[in-house]
């Protein structure tokens, strides 16, 4: 079968990987790396990619996934809780920017529709780049970080109505009033469908899909919901992206939102990379070289307009001048949503080819400059304050800023110094109960929705989904937790590795069934591993030595040595021996507690009672307990019969126990 795009995909991804590697070294945004890939491989560059239309089709899927993820991350409850900073600040910033751009372009003779549309493009900033840089700088919770994030959220939401209004700005409607009424009717129908789906259909569907082993059914269900909603809105005459956004909004109201987001993100990242590559293919580098001063001038003018608009919006919210200026500097660039919005504008005639190339040039330069602008934003702000204000006013403003920071710290309700419990089975419930009794804040991650509901009923914070999902770990704020308890045995190694990759400092305690799994978990990054198989032996060992009148401090020392040696004493993998002293401190001969599994046996022991087998007389060993079919027999006497698959907990000399082990195999 001939697949012409296959070779070009290899070219695109290979070139992108090399460019991203270099960009990471110089701390440049990855988005620019994909755009540069398209510029090099596209028709205006080296011409390596011929199937441009196929790449654009994959880019369209990326836009669908992007709006789907945005819908999942911004639920109606979350938007309502963010308050006026999002809606008042975001709306003011958008209106001021659109107004300033429209007024400026109107003075140069541009028509109203194209001028407003270009205002739309200038309004939007880069959510991906700004949030990533703020996170790397540790300034997400700083006042300007929170304000910038709130305005970016509003910009992400306002993209949807901007896309709906674009055809009307292009003059494609002869009856604007009628089209607005029709559009309102379609939106009302969508809202009704969203409500019905979110309340009655999707939660039950996802609840059934997530049950059982594996994520295959859940993944397919999520993707089908996304694409079906996109297809439905296209059938109504609206965009694919709008349907994906509403599908994400429906899922955001379910308890599976975080798990679904983590599953979709890899698809979103992959297909969005093709979107930015396709943008790069449209860039004509010769236009950059023809008008360098025009492009730089437009970049400076746009920066001034956006910074001033954001500053005014933030000052209206009664934030200090310093916060307002730093927020404006953070939002000065053009954003990735501008690329998405520009395509229909280009097709509908709102943007000429020349204007589109200028937009691409200014957008790429502004996005490349964003990390450096945020790096020096504080220094720029300090100089601006000292330049325009008297020193007394400056000192007073800094005092007010410090007071504001103190209030923000008090009001900030984030998880910190908590314990993350992965799995709410028997062990997870016990750990959660102990944490609650000790008044330690804890958060539970549980994949089974029924167990998750039980945890929620006890008032615990719960995330539903696979704990190996990086997005879930991010939402759980693993990096701020003091400890993570992995209370599940299946997939424990993968979970431990992902937790350790997310945080190098958190203390990880993992529970496993068998001690042979311990080394793998330690290698994956666990700090402590608790095997059920030998913790029972430890407890028996503890009680036994008490009966031999061994001092309590000596018993604790032996137990600690056993655990620190990864249970090597119990498996015979270490030279350390368990020595029990007499009350008069005279040492006894070497003794070990070991766990031996009865397999086939030679008939001298298996099938016989303890009295008949003569284990004590022949081997000098004492059977302390027997584990059979998941239960423990602790009342061991001569009439107890030894069966195949029994696990024997024995005390005896190492050489005698070795001989007994050979009898049981």
pLDDT at 302: 92
633, β-bridge pairs? 626
pLDDT tens for residues 88-117?
888 899 999 999 999 998 888 888 888 999
Q: How many helices (H) and strands (E) does the chain have?
A: 32, 10
Confidence of residue 603 (pLDDT cuts 50, 70, 90): low
Segment 341-347 shows an average pLDDT of 83
Q: pLDDT at residue 345 above 90?
A: no
Q: pLDDT at residue 583 above 50?
A: no
Among the ranges 73-87, 152-166, 383-397, which has the highest mean pLDDT value? 152-166
pLDDT tens for residues 370-403?
888 888 888 888 778 777 666 676 666 666 666 5
Segment 316-342 shows an average pLDDT of 86
- Is the Cβ–Cβ distance between 365 and 295 less than 8 Å? yes
SS3 of 134-177: the string is HHHHCCCCCHHHHHHHHHHHHHHHHHHHHHHHHHHHCCCCCCHH
Strand 647-652 to 631-633 pairing: unpaired
pLDDT at 95: 93
pLDDT at 312: 92
* Token output for 42: 């596209």
Instruction: Tell me what the pLDDT averaged over the chain comes to.
Output: 77
Q: pLDDT at residue 186 above 60?
A: yes
Buried b (16+ CB within 10 A) or exposed e, 88-114: ebbebbbebbbebbbebbeeeebeebb
pLDDT at 1: 46
Among the ranges 62-71, 245-254, 563-572, which has the highest mean pLDDT value? 245-254
Strand order from edge to edge, sheet including 631-633? 592-597, 647-652, 622-628, 631-633
Q: pLDDT at residue 596 above 70?
A: yes
**By mean pLDDT, which of 141-155, 344-358, 574-588 is the weakest?**
574-588
Closest CA to 412 of 154, 22, 141: 141
Distance, C-alpha 376 to centroid of its chain? 28
Segment 122-149 shows an average pLDDT of 76
Q: Calculate the alpha carbon distances from 624 to 543, 638, 658 in Å.
A: 10, 12, 17
Q: pLDDT at residue 241 above 80?
A: no
Q: Where are the alpha helices (DSSP H) in 525-609?
A: 532-547, 552-564, 568-571
pLDDT tens for residues 501-529?
888 888 898 887 766 677 788 888 888 88
Q: What share of the chain is helix, strand, coil (3-state, %, to 5)?
A: 65, 10, 25
pLDDT tens for residues 346-379?
888 888 888 888 888 898 888 878 888 888 888 8
pLDDT tens for residues 422-473?
999 888 888 888 888 878 888 999 888 888 888 888 888 888 888 877 778 8
pLDDT at 361: 86
pLDDT tens for residues 2-29?
556 677 778 888 888 888 888 877 777 7
pLDDT at 234: 76
């Amino acid at each position: 079968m001939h697949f012409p795009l296959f070779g070009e995909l290899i070219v695109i991804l290979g070139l992108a990987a090399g460019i991203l590697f270099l960009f990471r070294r110089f701390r440049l945004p990855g988005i620019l790396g994909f755009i540069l890939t398209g510029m090099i491989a596209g028709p205006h560059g080296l011409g390596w990619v011929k199937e441009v239309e196929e790449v654009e089709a994959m880019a369209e899927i990326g836009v669908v996934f992007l709006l789907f993820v945005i819908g999942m991350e911004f639920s109606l409850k979350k938007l309502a809780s963010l308050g006026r900073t999002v809606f008042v600040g975001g709306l003011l910033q958008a209106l001021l920017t659109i107004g300033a751009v429209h007024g400026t372009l109107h003075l140069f003779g541009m028509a109203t529709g194209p001028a407003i549309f270009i205002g739309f493009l200038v309004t939007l900033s880069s959510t991906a780049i700004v949030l990533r840089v703020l996170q790397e700088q540790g300034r997400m919770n700083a006042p300007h970080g929170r304000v910038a994030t709130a305005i970016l959220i509003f910009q992400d939401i306002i993209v949807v109505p901007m896309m709906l209004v674009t055809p009307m700005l292009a003059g494609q409607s002869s009856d604007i009033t009628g089209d607005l009424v029709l559009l309102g009717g379609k939106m009302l129908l969508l809202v009704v469908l969203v409500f019905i789906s979110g309340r009655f259909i999707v939660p039950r569907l996802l609840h059934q899909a997530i049950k059982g082993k594996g994520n295959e059914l859940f993944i397919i269900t999520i993707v089908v919901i996304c694409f079906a909603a996109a297809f439905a809105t296209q059938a109504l005459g609206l965009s694919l992206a709008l349907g994906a956004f509403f599908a994400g909004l429906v899922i955001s109201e379910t308890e599976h939102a975080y798990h679904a987001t983590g599953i979709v993100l890899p698809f979103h990242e992959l297909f969005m990379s093709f979107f930015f590559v396709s943008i790069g293919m449209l860039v004509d580098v010769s236009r950059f070289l023809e008008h360098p001063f025009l492009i730089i001038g437009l970049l400076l003018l746009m920066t001034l307009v956006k910074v001033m608009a954001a500053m005014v919006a933030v000052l209206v919210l009664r934030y200090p001048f310093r916060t307002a200026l730093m927020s404006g500097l953070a939002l000065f660039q053009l954003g990735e949503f501008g690329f998405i919005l520009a395509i229909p504008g280009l097709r509908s005639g709102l943007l000429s080819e020349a204007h589109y190339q200028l937009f691409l040039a200014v957008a790429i330069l502004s996005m490349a400059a964003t990390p450096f602008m945020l790096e020096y934003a504080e220094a720029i702000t300090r100089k601006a304050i000292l330049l325009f204000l008297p020193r007394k006013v400056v000192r007073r403003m800094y005092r007010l800023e410090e007071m504001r920071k103190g209030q923000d710290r008090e009001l900030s309700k984030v998880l910190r110094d908590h314990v993350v419990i992965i799995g709410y089975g028997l062990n997870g419930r016990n750990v959660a109960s102990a944490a609650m009794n000790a008044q330690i804040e804890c958060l539970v991650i549980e994949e089974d929705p029924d167990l998750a509901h039980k945890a929620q009923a006890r008032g615990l914070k719960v995330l539903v989904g696979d704990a190996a999902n990086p997005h879930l770990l991010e939402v759980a704020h693993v990096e701020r937790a003091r400890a993570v308890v992995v209370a599940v045995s299946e997939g424990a190694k993968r979970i431990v590795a992902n937790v350790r990759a997310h945080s190098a400092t958190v203390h990880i305690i993992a529970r496993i069934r068998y001690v042979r799994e311990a080394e793998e978990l330690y290698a994956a990054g666990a700090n402590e591993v608790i095997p059920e198989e030998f913790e029972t032996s430890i407890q028996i060992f503890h009680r036994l030595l008490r009966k031999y009148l061994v001092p309590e401090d000596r018993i604790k020392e032996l137990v600690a040595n056993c655990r620190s040696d990864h249970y090597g004493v119990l498996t015979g993998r270490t030279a350390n021996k368990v020595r029990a002293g007499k009350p008069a401190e005279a040492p006894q001969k070497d003794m070990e507690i070991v766990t031996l599994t009865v397999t086939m046996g030679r008939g001298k022991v298996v099938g016989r009672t303890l009295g008949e087998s003569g284990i004590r007389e022949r081997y000098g060993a004492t059977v302390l307990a027997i584990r059979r079919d998941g239960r423990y027999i602790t009342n061991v006497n001569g009439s107890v019969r030894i069966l195949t698959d029994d696990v024997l907990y024995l005390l005896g000399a190492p050489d005698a126990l070795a001989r007994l082990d050979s009898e049981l195999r």
